[in-house]
Structure 1
Amino acid sequence: MAPLLATGPLNLALVGCTLAIVYFVALSIYNVFLHPLRSFPGPFLWRMSHIPRSLTLVRGKLPIHMKNLHAKYGPVVRISPNELAFSDPQAWKDIYGHRSNGEPELAKYELFYRVVDHIPRSIINAYRDEHAFLRRQMAHGFSERAMQAQEPIIGSYVDLLIYRLQERCADGVTALNMREWLNYTTFDVIGDLGFGSSFKCLEDSDYHPWVKLVTTASRQNALLTALSNVGLKLVKRAILRLGNLAVKDNLALVRETLLKRIENGIERPDFVDGLIRKKKEGVLDLGQLVSTSSTLIIAGSETTATLLTGVVYLLTTNPDKLNLLTKEVRSAFTNDEEITLTSVGKLTYMLACLNEALRRYPPVPAGLPRQAPKGGCYIMGQYIPEGTVVAVWQHAINHDERFWTKPYTYAPERFMGGAEFKNDQTDAMQPFSVGPRNCIGRNLAYAEMRLILAKIIYNFDMTIDDDSRDWLRNQPAYNLWDKPALNIHMKPVPAGKQR
């Protein structure tokens, strides 16, 4: 009996492994040959299993690789057993836009938007009615009137940025890591507009712990999403329970800062004032307020800093474009004080430079997935079965040769009606998304980016350091970019010498 007892557990393990292999093979055959999405093209292994997509995601290569998949398989690619990627302007409207004839909107895909599912819902992953409620409370903080009231706040941090840069590059030789300085600025601005006080990044010339958590959280979320996709939810739950996760630390910091903001009791034209009032009325709980505020911090700071870092890189590696922009900025103003949130609106070439940077280096390069509703839906005239995960991947569509002339060339002229780019389909680029859940902070983002860039261009001559010339090459991209240092030589222009 002893030998039989000894081999019993081994036999059970072999049976278990055999059943698992049989299940995997049967599921793979179903996914490739019998699945409702079997007619859509895509890499064989990706159609068979979630594993290839998940591995590419964890490596930080998925948003960039999506361009290659579209180039090979066309505008609709099956990138996992139950997911389709789209590259077409019409897909933006069909997936994210308003639906006609009473058709339901495509819901946000829970496994992506709620990586940590026990955290209260925020404006980014709230259900439709809840989202509309939250957006109404925040609308005043993003209005034109509020932006005028916020101008002294934003302007003070931009002026401090210029002062700090001048302090550190008086010799015109030292290269500064502009990734850091732009992050400092946008986080301080959003901290003040969201919580009534900055994170003191510019004051201390150093990162606040909050800033450091953002990129870490992006990498961790990619891993947790991949684990969910490949069926390892038990592993994901163990990590959530035992792991030291940036998202937990992030929310703790938000909660602490919000409570101070509430205790101050000061009403001000910022982003969370309306939400705080609803919290005091008992309509909104603290968990929802914390989650939504955390989303605002990331969306209103990291993405803006990313775009500004990208445009500095693209301009300094295309000095002819930088020269044109410098001439526009310095001929438009007689002194630094004239550069305001309002006055920068007349800089047409600057707007083109920013738009082209949004195309070449979208702050969110990935796809923002939705899910086909019950009964399915039509996207680009094709029937999509219910439950299918669908998205337009921003980096891929922004570099699709069908919509852009010389897609890897930085050419602001394409947004100014340049003859060479007359056939470009600029509606293929939607960095703020479309439809009822588009970005509420679009106008503020543009104004802030214009102001910061105009002040830098007016006050400094910039050249890129040799060690940063390949800054964009092989840069990891998750839902956000994992940006390396961007070293730029900043030579101050003496007052009165800008013209």
Structure 2
Amino acid sequence: MTLSDFRVPTTTSLSALYAWPVIAISATVLLVASYTFYNLFLHPLRAVPGPRLWAASTIPYTVAWLSGSASYTIHALHQQYGDIVRVAPNRLSFTHPQAYQEIRGHRKSNQEEHSKDAAFYAISRQNILGASREDHTRLRRILSHGFSAKSMQGQQPMITKYIDLLMQRLRERTTTTKKGEKTRQEAVVDLTAWFNYTTFDIIGDLAFGEPFGCLEESQYHPWVSVIFRSVKQLGIMLAVELWFPGTVNLLRKVVPTAFSAMDMQTAHAHERISRRLQLEESRPDFVEAMATAMSEDGRMLTRHEMDVSARLLVFAGSETTATSLAAVAYFLAKYPVVQKKVADEVRSGFASEAEMNFSSVSKLQYLLVVMDEAMRVFPTVPGQMPRICGPGGDIICGIHVPAGTGLEIWPYAVNHSARNFTEPDKFIPERWLPDEEYKGIRFDKQRHGAFQPFSFGPRNCIGKNLAYVEMRLILARLMWNYDLVLADEAAERFLDCPCFALWLKGPLNVRLTPVTRD
């Protein structure tokens, strides 16, 4: 090699060298500009109200989702733009009550349903939550046996056992022994934790024939802790799938730790179901239903379907009920007048705590409206549970929606809409009573059908009745024994929490004062 081999690039070769980055950048800018121009001026949804930035790109929607503030942000958009808002280039959000029927309601046999949004249910396609219409019908028919009236009557002693243990644990913390004498006293407890202990133990026994031991040990089982850790992780994966559809399986291979929480839950479910199936006794629990019931075509659940269904039942059947219980307890402690009404109803309605059961607590009507109002103000499941508009498009809330459009109903935005509820941000249980007026506030109830805490249609929550009786019995016994007061600033801010499909709740420290009786 000689010096002549080292040539200084000519002007022409330098130009060619720098031309490619310029071309790439220019092409990218042109592509983004074209995409934005199409979304703003040519897209079929261009006339739907909403912020221009959100219509132009999915970025604002994704940022809101990843920040845990989407429920509040979408609500603010509906306040500004109305019942129908374009929240992304190809996504609409609705707050009108009829949206539930037109998006999630029963369809005629020859009509395609508005299917679950694959971007949000990519990791749930094998269970009842994200299954196809055909598979959902089959899975629901089988699983419904575990939630039948007959099963619930058989489950009552089992459920009551854990509520008894909850009350025992609370009494231990509000009782001191001095010189052999027991004295009842005030104590501060974190009701967020205690409600979770209770609901997880109940669902553990119903799903696997054994509890998680949370109440026994007064702490979370490792599986329960994994569930809480997975909530935010799930939110991040949903955002990735939204931007890059079909990447979930690739992510599982590239970043296996991102799925470790769900894989661990499935492994736990498989192990516990195996132990439950080895029991020779017949029990009115979910495994009994999953292992014996058949769909109309004679098919039974595969073992993998049993595992993923049990994993979902544990997650959905415990965390959501505990969230609603914590919300009700918060509002009772926050509003002494409401608490007194509930306490009077409970304490005058029974001669003893032993009289309380599934049937007897159903007569507590004021407690029921307090529960409903708590779930309205603080929706149990704040996520939008999106659908995709079916083939051929549809007319939804008076507008034509093209096929493939994302259809969303955010419960927080629906429940806090002034078009649906009078004084929507106020906690007023009386709005659910027959009277049209309370303390000078006249309720417009024409759009109260917007309140759907257990979703709507053929895919509504299969555990609705179980959740209501659990909550009524736990709350009735809590109010029989204690008066509640919020104990610190963290409890005062309990409702101010982020959400990623579910709320990331903080502690609810409440001062329990034992009720004295003659």
The reply to whether TM is greater than 0.5 is: yes
1:124 corresponds to 2:129: yes
1:145 corresponds to 2:150: yes
Query: Partner residue of 2:178?
Result: none
Structure 2 length-normalised TM = 0.90
Find the aligned partners of 1:11 and 1:296 in 2 and give their Cα distance: 58
Are the equivalent residues in 2 in contact too, given 1:180–1:485 (CA < 8 A)? yes
Note the C-alpha offset of 1:146. 0.9
Find the aligned partners of 1:248 and 1:17 in 2 and give their Cα distance: 41
Q: Give the one of 227, 248, 267 matched to 1:252.
A: 267
Query: Partner residue of 2:167?
Result: 162
Find the aligned partners of 1:278 and 1:394 in 2 and give their Cα distance: 33
Are the equivalent residues in 2 in contact too, given 1:61–1:476 (CA < 8 A)? yes
Are the equivalent residues in 1 in contact too, given 2:494–2:507 (CA < 8 A)? no
Query: Partner residue of 2:179?
Result: none
Residues 444 and 235 of structure 1: CA distance in aligned 2, closer, same or farther (over 3 Å): closer
Query: Partner residue of 1:356?
Result: 373
Q: Percent of pairs identical after alignment?
A: 38
2:139 counterpart SS class? helix
Provide the alpha-carbon RMSD of the alignment: 2.3
Find the aligned partners of 2:59 and 2:449 in 1 and give their Cα distance: 33
Deviation string for 1:350-392 (max 9, x for gaps)?
Answer: 1011111110111111211111111101111211100001021
Query: Partner residue of 1:98?
Result: 106
Q: Give the one of 185, 188, 198 matched to 2:211.
A: 198
Query: Partner residue of 1:447?
Result: 469
Note the C-alpha offset of 1:6. 9.7
Find the aligned partners of 1:18 and 1:254 in 2 and give their Cα distance: 52
Please give the residue correspondences for 1:398-413 in structure 2 after superposition, counting only pairs within 5 Å. Answer: 398-413=415-430
Are the equivalent residues in 2 in contact too, given 1:96–1:435 (CA < 8 A)? yes
Q: Give the one of 218, 243, 251 matched to 1:230.
A: 243
Query: Partner residue of 2:181?
Result: none
Q: Give the one of 79, 104, 113 matched to 1:71.
A: 79
1:272 counterpart SS class? helix
Note the C-alpha offset of 1:48. 0.7
Note the C-alpha offset of 1:13. 4.8
Query: Partner residue of 1:289?
Result: 306
Query: Partner residue of 2:411?
Result: 394
Query: Partner residue of 1:174?
Result: 187
Find the aligned partners of 2:288 and 2:225 in 1 and give their Cα distance: 26
Please give the residue correspondences for 1:399-438 in structure 2 after superposition, counting only pairs within 5 Å. Answer: 399-420=416-437, 421-424=442-445, 425-438=447-460
What amino acid is the match of 1:434? F
Deviation string for 1:434-482 (max 9, x for gaps)?
Answer: 1111111111111110001001110111111132343245311121000
Note the C-alpha offset of 1:10. 6.8
Are the equivalent residues in 2 in contact too, given 1:314–1:357 (CA < 8 A)? yes
What amino acid is the match of 1:330? R
Segments of 5+ residues of structure 1 without an aligned counterpart are none
Residues 148 and 72 of structure 1: CA distance in aligned 2, closer, same or farther (over 3 Å): same
Query: Partner residue of 1:382?
Result: 399
Find the aligned partners of 2:100 and 2:509 in 1 and give their Cα distance: 36
Residues 392 and 282 of structure 1: CA distance in aligned 2, closer, same or farther (over 3 Å): closer
Find the aligned partners of 1:174 and 1:20 in 2 and give their Cα distance: 62
Residues 374 and 173 of structure 1: CA distance in aligned 2, closer, same or farther (over 3 Å): same
Q: Which moved more, 1:382-391 or 1:134-143?
A: 134-143
Query: Partner residue of 2:344?
Result: 327
Find the aligned partners of 1:237 and 1:55 in 2 and give their Cα distance: 23
1:491 counterpart SS class? strand
Query: Partner residue of 1:482?
Result: 504
Find the aligned partners of 2:397 and 2:125 in 1 and give their Cα distance: 34
Q: Give the one of 342, 351, 359 matched to 1:342.
A: 359
Find the aligned partners of 1:330 and 1:16 in 2 and give their Cα distance: 74
Deviation string for 1:273-304 (max 9, x for gaps)?
Answer: 2222369x984322221111111111111000
What amino acid is the match of 1:377? D
Query: Partner residue of 2:323?
Result: 306
Find the aligned partners of 1:152 and 1:234 in 2 and give their Cα distance: 46
1:107 counterpart SS class? coil
Find the aligned partners of 1:233 and 1:100 in 2 and give their Cα distance: 30
Are the equivalent residues in 2 in contact too, given 1:108–1:371 (CA < 8 A)? yes
Are the equivalent residues in 1 in contact too, given 2:491–2:509 (CA < 8 A)? no
Please give the residue correspondences for 1:27-38 in structure 2 after superposition, counting only pairs within 5 Å. Answer: 27-38=35-46
Note the C-alpha offset of 1:12. 4.5
Find the aligned partners of 1:278 and 1:6 in 2 and give their Cα distance: 74
Find the aligned partners of 1:492 and 1:237 in 2 and give their Cα distance: 55
Query: Partner residue of 1:21?
Result: 29
Query: Partner residue of 1:44?
Result: 52
Residues 101 and 242 of structure 1: CA distance in aligned 2, closer, same or farther (over 3 Å): closer
What amino acid is the match of 1:429? F
Query: Partner residue of 2:3?
Result: none
Q: Which moved more, 1:394-403 or 1:415-424?
A: 415-424
Please say which structure displays the higher CA radius of gyration.
Answer: 2
Residues 138 and 405 of structure 1: CA distance in aligned 2, closer, same or farther (over 3 Å): same
Are the equivalent residues in 1 in contact too, given 2:127–2:309 (CA < 8 A)? yes
Find the aligned partners of 2:515 and 2:267 in 1 and give their Cα distance: 43
What amino acid is the match of 2:54? W
Find the aligned partners of 1:81 and 1:125 in 2 and give their Cα distance: 23
Structure 1 length-normalised TM = 0.93
Note the C-alpha offset of 1:104. 1.9
Q: Which moved more, 1:410-419 or 1:195-204?
A: 410-419
Note the C-alpha offset of 1:17. 3.6
Are the equivalent residues in 2 in contact too, given 1:88–1:428 (CA < 8 A)? yes
Query: Partner residue of 1:463?
Result: 485
Please give the residue correspondences for 1:48-63 in structure 2 after superposition, counting only pairs within 5 Å. Answer: 48-63=56-71
Are the equivalent residues in 1 in contact too, given 2:291–2:300 (CA < 8 A)? no
What amino acid is the match of 2:433? M
1:462 counterpart SS class? strand
Find the aligned partners of 2:84 and 2:299 in 1 and give their Cα distance: 46
Are the equivalent residues in 1 in contact too, given 2:102–2:396 (CA < 8 A)? yes
Aligned length: 492
Are the equivalent residues in 2 in contact too, given 1:174–1:490 (CA < 8 A)? yes
What amino acid is the match of 1:269? P
What amino acid is the match of 1:272? V
Q: Which moved more, 1:450-459 or 1:285-294?
A: 285-294
